[in-house]
Amino acid sequence: MRQKREWFIERLQSTTTLDDLRAEIFRLRDAFEAEHLVYHSVNSIGEQYAALTYSDAWVSEYTTQDYARIDPVVQGCLRRFHPVDWKQLDWSPKPTRAFLGAAVDNGVGHQGYSVPIRGPSGQFALFTISHRATDEAWKTFRDAHLSDLILLAHFINQKALEIERGSDHIPVQKLSPREVDALTMLASGLNRAQAADTLAISEHTLRVYIESARFKLGASNTTHAVAKALAQGLLIL
């Protein structure tokens, strides 16, 4: 799976326009054999950018009907910092069930996972992957791919900011060797306990290195820190 991730990161780093970024979203969807991928960003003054694989008909209906005000995914992620599985959201209200039915009819898929991303100057973005899989198949898909897709969500957001505004690109930060080691272990797919064991340090010490690196990189969370370190060429896998 890491090969797909590295392949996409390499392509993303050479992307220079928002139209090219939209094309990469389609390639990423196909590479992971998902139903749809969506990246949607809103900055502090309400300007929006979207790169998505939904049909034009569904995008038009969603916008015309102002579904965002009842969409549990949007409303839920506005209040959260962690990724959200759609199954964890409340779909019981009648308007929400009607909205879900319309989404499924338009090929969105009833399984989904959304990653809220908070960037500089009040920017908010949402990265979503959806599928038509059964519950069992969806669990298999999540277990195999979600850690990579969450990481790539932050890469996509950083690239979109870089293309759109330029000024969001910051100089490469110098990390200590141990901070690099800690983030490298996480980027390799190890959890914190495994990373600490590999480095022969305690989980508390590992956490100190991760938080220090996150602060230096200006990252909102650990996954964002790994993404930024990779994007800046600080990690060698």
Domain ranges of the chain: 2-165, 177-231
Residues 6 or more apart whose Cβ sits within 8 Å of residue 228: 154, 158, 217, 218, 219
Name the strands in the sheet holding 48-52, side by side, starting at the edge strand that comes first in the sequence: 48-52, 36-42, 124-131, 111-118, 84-85
What pLDDT was estimated at residue 44?
A: 67
Q: For 94-151, what is each residue's pLDDT tens digit?
A: 999 999 999 999 999 999 999 998 877 778 899 999 999 999 999 999 988 888 888 8
CATH topology (fold) of 2-165: Beta-Lactamase (3.30.450)
User: How many other C-beta atoms can be found within 10 angstroms of the C-beta atom of residue 130?
Assistant: 26
For the chain, give the percent of residues with pLDDT over 90. Answer: 57
What pLDDT was estimated at residue 74?
A: 93
Q: For 9-34, what is each residue's pLDDT tens digit?
A: 889 888 999 999 999 999 999 999 99
Tokens standing for 41? 């960003």
What pLDDT was estimated at residue 234?
A: 83
Strand partners, 124: 42, 118
Residues 6 or more apart whose Cβ sits within 8 Å of residue 97: 91
The rounded Cα 197 to chain-centroid distance in angstroms is 28
What pLDDT was estimated at residue 237?
A: 64
Residues 6 or more apart whose Cβ sits within 8 Å of residue 19: none
Residue 206 half-sphere exposure, CB side, CA atoms within 13 Å?
21
Nearest-angstrom CA–CA distance, 21 and 51? 7
Long-range contacts at 118-122 (CB < 8 A, ≥ 24 apart): 118/81, 118/220, 119/41, 119/157, 119/161, 119/168, 119/220, 120/161, 120/168, 120/218, 121/43, 121/44, 122/43, 122/44
Handedness of CA 65, 67, 70, 75 (dihedral sign): negative
Q: Per-residue pLDDT for 206 more than 60?
A: yes
Nearest to 55 by CA among 109, 114, 97: 109
Q: Are 128 and 115 in contact (CB under 8 A)?
A: yes
Average pLDDT over residues 47-61: 93
Mean of the per-residue pLDDT values of the chain: 88
Q: Per-residue pLDDT for 45 more than 80?
A: no
Residues 6 or more apart whose Cβ sits within 8 Å of residue 128: 36, 37, 38, 40, 73, 112, 113, 114, 115
Architecture of domain 177-231: Orthogonal Bundle (1.10)
Confidence of residue 166 (pLDDT cuts 50, 70, 90): low
3-state secondary structure of 101: helix
Put simply, whether the predicted model's pTM sits higher than 0.75 gets the answer yes
Q: Per-residue pLDDT for 168 more than 60?
A: no
